[in-house]
Structure 1
Amino acid sequence: MADPMDDVEESLRLQRTEIAGQIHDQIIPPLFAARMQLEALAGKLRASGESDHSLPGPVVLSSVDRAAEFVVQSMMAARELLSDVSPPTTGERYWQQQIELVSDLLSTRLDKNGQPIKLDVSGDFPWDTMPTETSIVVTNIVTEAIRNAIRHSHADRISVAIDSPQSRQIHVTDNGRGFDPASIKSNHGMMLMTARAKSIGGQLKIDSKFGGPTRLTIAWPK
């Protein structure tokens, strides 16, 4: 006899899949289009304002930039909601989703020259061959390291380098202002990241100095 709970779970799964599809197809694309339009308008205002001071000034341009930032934040919220309601993902799909989220966050932050902070991701790894818990923990540590660099480093470039599959290491490097690693040993966020690494038998290492760069390495066993 079929378990009635199986039917309930299948119904919920289908509903979540439908909601995820609507977010992906009907909410995110218009937000992306609005973002492109606002960024294009901001670019035209900057270019025109340099040659014709009778055109809308810095206040209008600032409002357009702020509107574009609100749209990006809405896109990020939609992507996070999409991740929440979609069927659970692991491995490479989870890695790609999380990298997309931090990339969206980067697009809202400007460096000292008014340009978006650059994120470079190099290397590849057979994520789907890893234990589920390991792939999730490694991904979360890497993306949290990127967020920390965005918030605190004042960098204009962040790189993620995946070593060969045999080495089982990923490096997150930023060219920001740097710090004394000893000064953050008792930092709650740092302690949490270290604990996450230890939960999969891994290690976390930070190399930094005042003036930068800063490099965080997560290594885990085979």
Structure 2
Amino acid sequence: HYTNSIEKLVKDTITLKNKNETLKNKIYRQEEFESQLKYTFTLEERNNISQKIHDELGHTLSGTVFQLEAANLLLDKDMKKAKALISNTIDKLRDGMDNIRNTLKEIKPEKEQIGISKIMLLIEEIRRSSDVEVILFHDNYIDKISFIHWKIIHDNVTESITNSLKHSGDNKITINISVINNKLIKLEIKDNGIGVKKINKGMGIRGMEERCESIGGKLIVDGSDGFSIISLFPIDF
């Protein structure tokens, strides 16, 4: 009896150790994935910053260089005009610096703004390329949504819209993103198409399922009234 107890204790200890290792590996992979997402968003943000600053500097400097050259030519001929040009150039440079500062403030968004902006950009592309009306709703708690959540939301929205455009014959798609009780994220994509009696889980739906399940969530598909796909996943996973 004593030997059996020892053996059971050893087995339980090994099992617990293995579970701990599995959990540690899962946490590590999630941290690595989120780190990569943050890096990707950072690169996108830097690209936007560099482009906007480039445009602002180009606009400011092209005018001021011309004025300074003119002032330089006038220095020996008309000091008063030269001083006026230099003063005007200084004012323009100050305005340009203020505009650059404002640009930097505007283009340093929070993670939820980055996430929702990518969804809005996707919607805008759909509106331009089709006759389908796409409407986006979200609540005031999207700041709870992490980078890894936004990545899944974006991918599932993209896949859902692609499926709707291909198969449903709809002219309206509604997207709703909400945070429930600070614990659960709900993404619902619904169209007003013909719907289906039997759900065929092709690669697209399976991919969405796998993305949800990778962070402890699930996917609910309903074809009875148009086509509806709900992604549910916990905030903490």
Sort the TM-score into its range (normalised by shorter chain).
Answer: 0.5 to 0.7
Q: TM-score when scaled to structure 1?
A: 0.53
1:15 to 1:206, Cα distance in 2 relative to 1, 3 A: closer
1:98 to 1:89, Cα distance in 2 relative to 1, 3 A: farther
Aligned mate of 1:97, from 118, 123, 127: 118
Aligned pairs (5 A) from 1:91-130: 91-110=112-131, 117-130=132-145
- Computing the radius of gyration over CA atoms, which structure comes out larger, 1 or 2? 2
Contact map agreement 2:118 2:154 (CA 8 A) in 1:
no
Aligned mate of 1:132, from 147, 163, 175: 147
Q: Deviation at 1:21? A: 3.1
Aligned pairs (5 A) from 1:2-81: 16-17=47-48, 20-21=51-52
Task: State how far apart, in whole Å, the 2-side matches of 1:192 and 1:179 are.
Answer: 19
Contact map agreement 1:90 1:136 (CA 8 A) in 2:
no
- Residue 170 of structure 1 corresponds to which residue in structure 2? 187
1:16 to 1:170, Cα distance in 2 relative to 1, 3 A: closer
Q: Deviation at 1:140? A: 2.1
For the residue of structure 2 that corresponds to 1:101, the secondary structure is: helix
Contact map agreement 1:181 1:206 (CA 8 A) in 2:
no
Q: TM-score when scaled to structure 2?
A: 0.50
Task: State how far apart, in whole Å, the 1-side matches of 2:117 and 2:126 are.
Answer: 14
For the residue of structure 1 that corresponds to 2:189, the secondary structure is: strand
Contact map agreement 2:174 2:189 (CA 8 A) in 1:
yes
- Percent sequence identity over aligned pairs: 20
- Residue 203 of structure 2 corresponds to which residue in structure 1? 188
Q: Deviation at 1:155? A: 0.5
Contact map agreement 1:102 1:147 (CA 8 A) in 2:
no
1:96 to 1:15, Cα distance in 2 relative to 1, 3 A: closer
1:89 to 1:194, Cα distance in 2 relative to 1, 3 A: farther
- Which amino acid is 1:156 matched to? N
| 5+ long unaligned stretches in structure 2 | 1-42, 57-106
- Which amino acid is 2:121 matched to? E
Q: Deviation at 1:178? A: 1.3
- Which amino acid is 2:195 matched to? G
Over aligned residue pairs, what C-alpha RMSD do you find? 3.3
Contact map agreement 1:154 1:177 (CA 8 A) in 2:
yes
Q: Does 1:217 align with 2:230?
A: yes
- Residue 151 of structure 1 corresponds to which residue in structure 2? 166
Q: How many residues align?
A: 141
More helix by share: 2
Q: Deviation at 1:17? A: 4.5
Task: State how far apart, in whole Å, the 2-side matches of 1:170 and 1:125 are.
Answer: 14
For the residue of structure 1 that corresponds to 2:129, the secondary structure is: coil
Aligned mate of 1:161, from 155, 173, 176: 176
Q: Deviation at 1:201? A: 1.0
- Which amino acid is 1:119 matched to? V
For the residue of structure 2 that corresponds to 1:216, the secondary structure is: strand
Task: State how far apart, in whole Å, the 2-side matches of 1:23 and 1:142 are.
Answer: 33
1:22 to 1:148, Cα distance in 2 relative to 1, 3 A: farther
For the residue of structure 2 that corresponds to 1:120, the secondary structure is: strand
Q: Deviation at 1:15? A: 7.3
| 5+ long unaligned stretches in structure 1 | 1-12, 26-85, 111-116
- Which amino acid is 1:178 matched to? G
Task: State how far apart, in whole Å, the 2-side matches of 1:168 and 1:147 are.
Answer: 22
